[in-house]
Amino acid sequence: MEELTNQQQAIELLQQLGLKEYEAKAFVALSRLSGGTAKEISEISDVPRTRVYDAVRVLETKGLVDVQHSSPQRFRAVSIDEAAATLRREYESRTDVLVEALRGVDPATNDDDAEVSHEVWALSGENTITNRTQGLIDEAEGELVMVVGDDAVLTDELAERLREAQERGVDVVLGTVDEALRERIRDVVPGAEVFVSGLDWLSAAAGTDDDTEITRLLLVDRSTILVSSGHRTGTDGEGREQAVFGRGFDNGLVVIVRRLMATGLVPHDDPGTAGSQAE
């Protein structure tokens, strides 16, 4: 049963990577054989024998199958590592072409004077929010203030983006909710100004039914913010992080977050002084 499940999963993933159903089935069948004829492939793949040749021909052009011109013809799948490398290159190539095509699409409207002062969007899902966070860090030109409320947020990739921002000359100010996280940030983002946040409400409220906590607060160049929240407890582990994202220096949400961060980032070595970078 496990082998069948893995086989079906492999077929579905190959289709997601661009192969048609019969092509995916034929490749998975060949990956189970040291070499096979069209008849043998058909027998273990449920691909009609007359369609095996078409499927294998496509796989050959993609560099996924070798053909032995004997009688009858025999076919062999390339190694799994070679197939993975080939598919990865094709996927990346298609993604690059897609990006260029999308950038070349003419806008439906041309409103150069569009106001962004009230731009607020909702985001959902850890991957989506993480990607937007990293994109905003990459956009930073002068100042970046971020409060990390959850240790899981501080990934190696996020730390790398923060270091790259420093290298571009961006002032990076980082806030934390506890000492351990502060020390970790200092290790992975050396040179950044690190504060212990005075915003107690970032964490889930003790003694209440409210288990929601702020996982990250990000302010970029004083005009773009991202605030995300999650749950400390839960069994599904899916879709638990939500966020709002806003732009515009005069955006009410941006103003509120900017002022909260200005008063809530307290220098660790000088608890009587409030950070002023965000304001």
Average pLDDT estimate for 12-39: 92
Which of 29-43, 139-153, 183-197, 205-219 is modeled with the greatest confidence?
Answer: 29-43
Q: Quick check: is 274 in a domain?
A: no
Q: Are the C-beta atoms of residues 154 and 184 closer than 8 Å to each other?
A: yes
CB 63 within 8 A of CB 69: no
pLDDT at 212 over 80: no
170, pLDDT greater than 90 = yes
Task: Check which CATH number belongs to the domain holding 51 and give it.
Answer: 1.10.10.10
126 lies in the same domain as 248 = yes
What three-state secondary structure class fits 279?
coil
The token duo for 199 is: 């915003």
Same domain, yes or no: 208 and 85: no
Domain CATH for 141: 3.30.870.10
Domain that holds residue 24: 2-103
What is residue 270's predicted lDDT score, i.e. its pLDDT? 43
Q: Per-residue pLDDT for 277 more than 70?
A: no
Whether residue 211 sits in one domain with residue 183: yes
Q: Distance between CA atoms of 26 and 28, rounded to whole angstroms?
A: 6
The reply to whether 172 falls in a domain is: yes
Count the neighbouring beta carbons within 10 Å of the beta carbon of residue 49.
13
Do 98 and 166 have their domain in common?
no
Judged by average pLDDT, the poorest of 28-37, 140-149, 258-267, 270-279 is: 270-279
In 3-state terms the chain splits into helix, strand, coil percentages (rounded to 5) of 45, 20, 35
Residues 7, 79: one domain?
yes
Could you give the C-alpha distances from 5 to 10, 12, 32, 163, in angstroms and in order? Answer: 9, 11, 14, 42
* One domain for residues 94 and 142: no
Residue 109 lies in a domain: no
Contact between 124 and 239 (Cβ < 8 Å):
yes
Establish if 276 belongs to a structural domain.
Answer: no
pLDDT, tens digit (0-9, with 9 covering 90-100), for 75-94: 999 999 999 999 999 889 88
Residue 110 maps to a domain:
no
In a domain, 257, yes or no: yes
Q: Is the pLDDT of residue 168 over 70?
A: yes
Q: What is the mean pLDDT of residues 54-62?
A: 93
Q: pLDDT tens for residues 100-141?
A: 998 888 877 655 545 555 678 888 888 889 999 999 999 999
Indicate if 75 and 173 belong to the same structural domain. Answer: no
* Final residue of a structural domain among 103, 135, 166: 103
The Cα–Cα gap between 252 and 269 comes to 32
Q: Are residues 55 and 123 in the same domain?
A: no
Evaluate if pTM is beyond 0.85. Answer: no
Q: How many domains does the chain have?
A: 2
Mean pLDDT of 209-217: 73
